Amino acid sequence: MLIELTPGPRDSPVVEEGHLFEGAPAFSLSDLRGGDAMGVVGDLVVSIKGITDILRRNESAARIALAAPDATARIAASIARLEQTVNAAADATEKLLRKLEGNLTSGSEDLASSLASFRRASADAEKVAAGLREIFETRQRPHEPRLLTNHTYTYTLYSSQTYHADSGGPQMIERITIIEPRSDRLHIFSRFELPRLGAVLLATIMRDRGYEAQALYMSTRDILARTPTADLVGISTITATAPSAYSIGDAFRARGIPVVFGGPHVTFMPEEALAHGDYCITGEGETGFPLLVEALNGKRSLSEVPGLVWRENGALRRNPPAAPIEDLDSLPFPDFSLLVMGGRARMGGPGPGRATIPIQTSRGCPFDCSFCSVTGMFGRRYRHRSTANIIAELSRYNPREKIIFFYDDNFTANRAKTKELLREMIRLELGFEWSTQVRADVANDPELLDLMGRAGCSALYIGFESVDPQALKEMRKSQTVEEIRWAVRQIRRAKIHIHGMFVFGFDSDTPEKTRATVRFAMKEKIDSAQFLILTPLPGSDFYTQMQAEGRLLDTAWDTYDAHHVKFRPVGFSPWELQLAQIRAHARFYSPLQILRRLLRGRVASFVIAVYAHSISKRWLREERGYLRLLRAGQRMLRSTPRGALASS
Ligand code: B12
Ligand code: SF4
């Protein structure tokens, strides 16, 4: 059995008599004594029994944090001191023995036998010191046990047989839980229970490799209330859920369970994440995560895990990222039976009806919009699954029970491939109702639109972003206002629901332009719409720009949800930008507009509008405090003399 001794951070608490198990209660010297002195932890010579007792009490705490970064030197020094003491004691004993032996008389047999046992004890002490020296030197050898890095060593404290007998089993990672926290804040999708695919996919991969794996998607409170039995916890993040993810990480570490972060936020903020977890895997996680588990189980070194970022002896270590998965068909179909969603048993929108099944058919996007982090995360090279592979996944579900949400960023980026898939869906009469995200350019191809309708497409989510040519240019959207208008008309004609997404806050935007955008959306009768606030998401060019220009307002990540102003805009004050978004929703989902939808016979659009109207009002109530602060900020700004601003 291998025990990994990892130097803890510089400020690790040091108990006078011992050290702390990372994330576990403190232990005292008395915990560690009581058996043969065979192992060394920091300055302490500890007993195997002591270690195994502690491990048994706290099964997952297989790692021991050494408080001092110079642990190795301290261990060497303590062994040298021990040896010196033993040698000095042995010398003194020998001298004493010789002196006593010289004075022995024939009747003093008792004394002779006492001296003999004293000599044996002294020889034992020498053996212990020699044993410790050997252990120490063994761990310095590069091969066995393996020297992982300069500072993190895997120690074999004793033979595997001895350990197994003592501990009742090795401390291996066998049970894995991957968690995606639901956003705790209200947003337009709050009542849609839709996890991202990462957690379920990674759980499926680990299950297929023989581990006991599950995925959780629920609120932070529900997650913390559960006591999942896991040897390792993986946590999936986007920016808006990063603070929740971190508090979950802290909680599991306090229970002594190692924590690994992954996902689009920590990919760009690994250092931040490591304050709340042990490891972070950047980029796509399918290659790195299983290798990390193998490394933690002693089968390889951490430096072999692509995309891994971790701390070693206080220093940040970072491996090169994993190459994006080229053959997407090689991935298993996400098994949603591994997903636990707490009280909410089904994925999808509110109310009864069919559950939603997310399926991703491609990764990456060939475009390069400045505000988007998809290309930073999944690359610009568009990779797609084969038609046969997608059809096989679809065929596992019953269209009478499930509707499909294709989780692609740009479902039609390779039109020939998309058409092939749609034709196959039509030919096989799969009969699914489905929706997906596309760009406005989908309407430039009438055949594609026709196939989409015939294959069961009921709704399209389209990032129109803006109807201002300057803003479209600024964000590098590669799309014109005319294309947007044309797309809306063609898609409406194909009787497909359009959910349009618009973004406010580009440098060329003004309050008047935002009003014009809402007028456009109403005039063109877009079924449902989201007016979002431009958000500097880590990993996007826009974030880098805002950071470089010192325009970020704060890094309260939970409000990086496109509903809050997070940077200093140019054409508005932060408050005016927020107000523009609030008014846009109020106008687009006004009672009159809602009624018009009903009169037009657009029932789905009517229902969504009622829902959006009520959620907007609830949002205003819940965010009263934030809105007051933002508004007060504006007042302060107004009352600050210009000179003061310039010099601040
Ligand atoms: C489906 C989807 C949604 C759904 C469900 C979202 C949810 N539960 O959060 C809906 C429509 C509700 C939605 C809403 C929003 N979304 Co959204 N959404 C997506 C989309 C298109 C697909 C997600 C997906 O399943 N991807 C495929 C899987 C395989 O990727 P993955 O889950 O990230 O997992 C991989 C890696 O990240 C990593 N990984 C993930 N978890 C873990 C864990 C561990 C331990 C490890 C080691 C690795 C690892 O390995 C996985 C396999 O490679 C992505 C874009 C994208 N391509 O990912 C955007 C995306 C996630 N959304 C985004 C945003 C901004 C939002 C909104 C805030 C904005 C909005 N449009 O309203 C809202 C709010 C969501 C919220 N929770 O608060 C951003 C997030 C970026 C960021 N840094 O935060 C993304 C990346 C799109 C973008 N433009 O950049 N969204
Ligand atoms: S916003 Fe859409 S089109 Fe633009 S880069 Fe992101 S995924 Fe691609």
Question: What is the reported pLDDT for 168?
Answer: 33
pLDDT digits (tens, 9 = 90+) for 3-23: 333 333 333 333 222 333 333
The ligand with the least distance to the CA atom of 378 is 1
Question: What is the reported pLDDT for 420?
Answer: 98
Of 455, 267, 270, 502, the C-alpha closest to 379 is 267
The ligand with the least distance to the CA atom of 534 is 1
The values of phi and psi at residue 234, to 5°, are: -105, 140
Q: Give the number of other CB atoms < 10 A from CB of residue 120.
A: 10
Q: Which residue from 184, 194, 196 has its CB within 8 A of the most atoms of ligand 1, so it is best to mutate?
A: 196
Residues of the chain with pLDDT under 70: 1-83, 85-86, 89-90, 93, 97, 100-171, 228, 343-345, 635-648
pLDDT digits (tens, 9 = 90+) for 478-523: 999 999 999 999 999 999 999 999 999 999 999 999 999 999 999 9
Index of the ligand 2 atom closest to the CA of residue 409? 7
CB 578 within 8 A of CB 533: yes
Cα distances from 394 to residues 300, 458, 571, in angstroms, run 37, 17, 47
CA of 313 to the centre of ligand 2 (A): 40
Q: Which CATH superfamily does the domain covering 354-647 fall into?
A: tm_1862 like domain (3.80.30.20)
Index of the ligand 1 atom closest to the CA of residue 182? 77
**Tokens found for residue 593:** 């507009």
Straight-line distance from the first to the last Cα atom of the chain, in angstroms, rounded to the nearest whole number:
60
CA of 238 to the centre of ligand 1 (A): 6
Q: Give the number of other CB atoms < 10 A from CB of residue 84.
A: 11
Domain covering 173-318, topology: Rossmann fold (3.40.50)
Determine whether the shortest distance from the Cβ of 602 to ligand 1 is under 6 A: no
| Helical (H) or strand (E) element with 644 | helix 642-647
Helix%, strand%, coil% for the chain, nearest 5 = 45, 15, 40
Determine whether the shortest distance from the Cβ of 376 to ligand 2 is under 6 A: no
Determine whether the shortest distance from the Cβ of 206 to ligand 1 is under 6 A: no
The ligand with the least distance to the CA atom of 206 is 1
CA of 274 to the centre of ligand 1 (A): 20
CB 286 within 8 A of CB 205: yes
DSSP calls for 377-406? HH-SS-EE--HHHHHHHHTTS-TTTEEEEE
Q: How many angstroms separate the CA atoms of 533 and 568, rounded?
A: 12
CA of 561 to the centre of ligand 1 (A): 12
Q: How many angstroms separate the CA atoms of 251 and 215, rounded?
A: 17
Question: What is the reported pLDDT for 537?
Answer: 98
Of 446, 588, 456, 443, the C-alpha closest to 514 is 588
The ligand with the least distance to the CA atom of 347 is 1
Q: How many angstroms separate the CA atoms of 124 and 583, rounded?
A: 84
The ligand with the least distance to the CA atom of 373 is 1
Q: List, by residue range, all CATH 3.80.30.20 domains of the chain.
A: 354-647
Determine whether the shortest distance from the Cβ of 183 to ligand 1 is under 6 A: yes
Determine whether the shortest distance from the Cβ of 412 to ligand 2 is under 6 A: no
Protein residue closest via CA to atom 22 of ligand 1: 407
CA of 372 to the centre of ligand 2 (A): 6
Cα distances from 281 to residues 182, 322, 483, in angstroms, run 20, 9, 39
Q: List, by residue range, all CATH 3.40.50.280 domains of the chain.
A: 173-318
| Helical (H) or strand (E) element with 87 | helix 71-102
Q: How many angstroms separate the CA atoms of 358 and 96, rounded?
A: 82
CA of 503 to the centre of ligand 2 (A): 13
The pTM (predicted TM-score) of the whole model is: 0.77
Q: Which residue from 365, 406, 436, 478 has its CB within 8 A of the most atoms of ligand 2, so it is best to mutate?
A: 365
Q: Can you list the alpha helix ranges (DSSP code H) found in 475-573?
A: 481-493, 511-523, 541-548
CA of 627 to the centre of ligand 1 (A): 27
Radius of gyration of the chain (CA): 32
Q: How many angstroms separate the CA atoms of 353 and 12, rounded?
A: 53
Question: What is the reported pLDDT for 119?
Answer: 65
Determine whether the shortest distance from the Cβ of 579 to ligand 2 is under 6 A: no
Q: Which residue from 238, 287, 325, 361 has its CB within 8 A of the most atoms of ligand 1, so it is best to mutate?
A: 238
Q: How many CA atoms lie within 13 A of 486 on its CB side?
A: 14
